[in-house]
Structure 1
Amino acid sequence: MDLIARLRDALPAEAILTDPDVTGAYAHDMASFCEAGTPAVVVLPRTVEQVQHVMRTATALRVPVVPQGARTGLSGAANASDGCIVLSLVKMDRIIEINPVDRIAVVEPGVVNAALSRAVNEHGLYYPPDPSSWEECSIGGNIGTASGGLCCVKYGVTAEYVLGLDVVLADGRLLTTGRRTAKGVAGYDLTRLFVGSEGSLGIVVRAVLALRPEPPQQLALAAEFPSTAAACDAVCEIMARGHAPSLLELMDRTSIRAVNAMAQMGLPDSTEALLLAAFDTPEPAADLAAVGALCEAAGATEVVPAETPAESDLLLQARRLTLTALERVKSATMIDDVCVPRSKLAAMLDGTAAIAEKYGLTIGVCAHAGDGNTHPTVCFDANDPDESRRARESFDEIMALGLELGGTITGEHGVGVLKKEWLARELGPVGLEMHRGIKAVFDPLGLLNPGKVF
């Protein structure tokens, strides 16, 4: 085959996978209801030059290319299309530099988030973005979907830590964007353009990331509420009073019961919402006391502050187990990612509960409450066509609710295949036209991740 022969001109044999039993494993990420095609070949480059060769070959033969990281995504953005080259970047996993003076790290896209975090910790530094899949997900994937995490309420999302990029364009040219300096406003901000572009504009092969000094260990509290409205009132008060928690998470009744069933956490059945707050300030106990008082004033039935980091980890365990617990409820889950203004958080949770009742489904919600990012998780039997249909319809209604409340269809998971129709509704016709114009500049042949985003 001409494609394979050309790829072999500049790639070692072990970097090219053609066995269908092997390539099939690279066909999709972790999203439900997202079609995936059959790749012609999977390529695992180790160098920038090898990535350039792949893109030059793809351009010459007009073959689509689907970039991939660790495939932990939840929107189908890494799903293969028929006859494509799957370009897996997991072998480009070097941490090239950690600079404590400039407070930057220079990394390849295949570096696992947790590996980077541990490496910079050894220098007394901190890389804040921490997606729930941080032990598996790659920095390249985090950049592609503009990932967030539990700490976003205080430290922000991936986009705020990407200072510069090396990007292989569709025709194989290498583009360098951004800087290594703390400041820089020369030219358009092309770096931000690539962050969240889901591999549709170019292949990130190197990133310059900002680091922070490592904060003190955080202390947490758990507050039980008799209603989601009361818990959301507490969230609004905490933020309105100027507190800066390092974590502010919320679990609804369905999530709490799922975790109880799996791990016997001992939370009362009467608990309708659980709010978890943490501080990594010099005096976290004082901050927890102030937030605990606000929770009690909002109607919390019990507030349990931790006195040690170990106790904090125990309190936060329920939140970390939520997705796993909900996955045990039914054979399949669809995880939504709707972000709304904090002031609309109660309306989002109550509206989701009404949608669950309407469709006769179990839908658990956990949320990064501090930034309004909710994760409604629809549980359903994938082998039941009617239940699968209701799951998809409820998913769409949840996204529509988010837009009605002034929110967005995705806060950190991306658009991919799953939400491309909804992206058009959020952007509007003028916004969509501008997006397509930008895509045409960077990828005039439409070879990069076709069929994704829009």
Structure 2
Amino acid sequence: MIVSRIEASRVEDTAADGPLAGRLLDGLPREAVLTDPDITASYAHDMASFCPAGTPAVVVLPRTVEHVQHIMRTATELDVPVVPQGARTGLSGAANATDGCIVLSLTKMDRILEISPVDRIAVVEPGVVNAALSRAVGEHGLYYPPDPSSWETCTIGGNIGTASGGLCCVKYGVTAEYVLGLDVVLADGRLMSTGRRTAKGVAGYDLTRLFVGSEGSLGIVVRAVLALRPKPPEQLVLAAEFASGAEACDAVCRIMAGGHTLLLELMDRTTVKAVNDLARMGLPESTEALLLAAFDTTDPVADLAAVGALCEVAGATQVVPAEDAAESELLLQARRMSLVALEAVKGTTMIDDVCVPCSRLGELIDGVERISEKYRLTIGVVAHAGDGNTHPTVCFDASDPEESRRARESFDEIMALGLELGGTITGEHGVGVLKKEWLAREIGPVGLEMQRAVKQVFDPRGILNPGKLF
């Protein structure tokens, strides 16, 4: 690989110019620079399977913007690659180390700098955990909607890097819609501010949106201004059982066409069983597809009744509204643990992230079932059904080469199906290492050329997260 040869050259050059760690320690405290191989190895990769990861030369844990600037100036001077990381809960290998790199972990920059109920904004550092922010703004009667399934551990910086979604996004929108402004340290150590603190603003190109979803390839986010909403009422959830995935998808289409704005999640039978096996949740395993609908409106009972009626028209065998907020939260927790439960089925998973128009959701579900049969593999499907973002999850034994080969082929076939249905290869997990070959297929040669040109402007030496995206 050309990238590997370039990285090897950088390592040799660094050794000739002087010890990397020593140069970093010129501007960082001793405890912020980790060089023990056993420790640095633990920072080598995120949660994605089948993604190559290299060996970091050093791990740095900055606490200030000035620390990050010093790291990037040093990296530029010595021509050393830098891999930014958050909590490493990602599922595409975007945070995986490359050989000889500086792993720049932002988890120590975890302060909530400001919460303004008047302006409805929060100003945070990148290491703030999503759930911690949600709880903090909740004390002010406010709400930060983006809620990835890993929200108890994932960080805002990581959410920004991958443009994360979550369960609430079909109603409230994804991370990109809540990032108003950023402070970013560029590859050469300069500090740039983008965006604003105001609700509106169209001054120049929207560089803020450019950084959201860039997977640390354009700069290091060190501060974010986030939009907040008033805290909604507690959610009530309805569970609808279906005898087929097609009927469940028909219900989704009816609900969306009916103008309802709600949380809408789907779990297939494989996923339901996996969750029950892991956590004894008591979900109904006789169903082929379980649809969870949730409202946080002023009259959720009436809203759920209307959605329940649409589910029955679509063929639901049973429609059961939760009795209270506690039971509702239990159902949503079952959905949140789906990916962990599927991983326990055979020890390893490849988690697809294709998003298709809601009108084609049924075709994708049927196609995944055919792919599962073709490759003789267990593939569970969970989905943010209201926005067509599905997570077909291939379960396999990584110690079995033949099964691993079939897993990879089935994963690719699912992505191809998503594109055929007018969708995208990733709705919220990002490209990273896992899907970079597919990014080229989706955006085409001209799109790829333009994206590389943007990368060249921000990172002319190619030191920021090399080998990711393209």
TM-score by length of 1: 0.98
**Residue in 2 aligned with 1:107?**
124
Per-residue CA deviations over 1:2-29 (Å, capped at 9, x if unaligned) read 3222111111110000000110001110
Aligned mate of 1:316, from 332, 339, 345? 332
Aligned mate of 1:259, from 265, 268, 275? 275
Aligned mate of 1:365, from 363, 381, 398? 381
2:149·2:337 contact (CA, 8 Å) conserved in 1?
no
Aligned mate of 1:95, from 91, 107, 112? 112
Cα separation, 1, equivalents of 2:238 and 2:324: 11
**Match of 1:414, as an amino acid?**
G
Cα separation, 2, equivalents of 1:440 and 1:348: 36
**Residue in 2 aligned with 1:68?**
85
**Match of 2:351, as an amino acid?**
I
Aligned mate of 2:205, from 177, 180, 188? 188
Q: 1:88 to 1:267 in 2, by over 3 A?
A: closer
Cα separation, 2, equivalents of 1:49 and 1:317: 39
- What SS does the corresponding residue of 2:42 show, helix, strand or coil? helix
Instruction: Compute the displacement of 1:138 (Å).
Output: 0.4
**Residue in 1 aligned with 2:256?**
239
- Equivalent residues in 2 for 1:216-365 (5 A)? 216-245=233-262, 247-365=263-381
**Residue in 2 aligned with 1:379?**
395
**Residue in 1 aligned with 2:447?**
431
**Residue in 2 aligned with 1:151?**
168
**Match of 2:78, as an amino acid?**
L
**Residue in 1 aligned with 2:66?**
49
Instruction: Compute the displacement of 1:269 (Å).
Output: 4.2
1:416·1:453 contact (CA, 8 Å) conserved in 2?
yes
TM-score by length of 2: 0.95
Instruction: Compute the displacement of 1:260 (Å).
Output: 3.0
- What SS does the corresponding residue of 1:271 show, helix, strand or coil? coil
Query: Is 1:33 aligned to 2:36, yes or no?
Result: no
- Equivalent residues in 2 for 1:69-84 (5 A)? 69-84=86-101
**Residue in 2 aligned with 1:447?**
463
1:368·1:374 contact (CA, 8 Å) conserved in 2?
yes
Instruction: Please say which of residues 189-198 and 267-276 is displaced more in the overlay.
Output: 267-276
Which stretches in structure 2 are left out of the alignment for 5+ residues? 1-17
- What SS does the corresponding residue of 2:326 show, helix, strand or coil? helix
Cα separation, 1, equivalents of 2:367 and 2:350: 17
Which stretches in structure 1 are left out of the alignment for 5+ residues? none
Instruction: Compute the displacement of 1:306 (Å).
Output: 1.6
Instruction: Compute the displacement of 1:313 (Å).
Output: 1.9
**Match of 2:57, as an amino acid?**
A
**Residue in 1 aligned with 2:425?**
409
Cα separation, 1, equivalents of 2:78 and 2:279: 53
Cα separation, 2, equivalents of 1:47 and 1:326: 39
Cα separation, 2, equivalents of 1:379 and 1:433: 35
Cα separation, 1, equivalents of 2:468 and 2:131: 27
Cα separation, 1, equivalents of 2:272 and 2:108: 39
**Match of 2:144, as an amino acid?**
Y
**Residue in 1 aligned with 2:144?**
127
Q: 1:267 to 1:50 in 2, by over 3 A?
A: closer
Q: 1:44 to 1:267 in 2, by over 3 A?
A: closer
Cα separation, 2, equivalents of 1:79 and 1:257: 32
- What SS does the corresponding residue of 1:429 show, helix, strand or coil? helix
**Match of 1:35, as an amino acid?**
P
Cα separation, 2, equivalents of 1:130 and 1:101: 23
Instruction: Compute the displacement of 1:314 (Å).
Output: 2.9
2:251·2:310 contact (CA, 8 Å) conserved in 1?
yes
**Residue in 2 aligned with 1:388?**
404
Instruction: Compute the displacement of 1:319 (Å).
Output: 1.5
Cα separation, 1, equivalents of 2:221 and 2:436: 22
Cα separation, 2, equivalents of 1:183 and 1:7: 40
- What SS does the corresponding residue of 2:346 show, helix, strand or coil? coil
2:419·2:425 contact (CA, 8 Å) conserved in 1?
yes
1:342·1:369 contact (CA, 8 Å) conserved in 2?
yes
1:105·1:210 contact (CA, 8 Å) conserved in 2?
yes
Instruction: Please say which of residues 91-100 and 251-260 is displaced more in the overlay.
Output: 251-260
User: Aligned-pair RMSD on alpha carbons?
Assistant: 0.9
Cα separation, 2, equivalents of 1:397 and 1:373: 17
1:117·1:126 contact (CA, 8 Å) conserved in 2?
yes
Q: 1:118 to 1:267 in 2, by over 3 A?
A: closer
Instruction: Compute the displacement of 1:268 (Å).
Output: 4.4
- Equivalent residues in 2 for 1:154-169 (5 A)? 154-169=171-186
Cα separation, 2, equivalents of 1:389 and 1:189: 42
**Match of 1:216, as an amino acid?**
P
Q: 1:243 to 1:399 in 2, by over 3 A?
A: same
**Residue in 1 aligned with 2:3?**
none
2:272·2:284 contact (CA, 8 Å) conserved in 1?
no
Instruction: Compute the displacement of 1:322 (Å).
Output: 1.6
Q: 1:355 to 1:103 in 2, by over 3 A?
A: same
Cα separation, 1, equivalents of 2:89 and 2:236: 29
Cα separation, 1, equivalents of 2:428 and 2:209: 15
**Residue in 1 aligned with 2:229?**
212
1:285·1:307 contact (CA, 8 Å) conserved in 2?
no
Residue identity (%): 83
Aligned mate of 2:153, from 120, 124, 136? 136
Number of equivalences: 453
Instruction: Compute the displacement of 1:270 (Å).
Output: 3.3
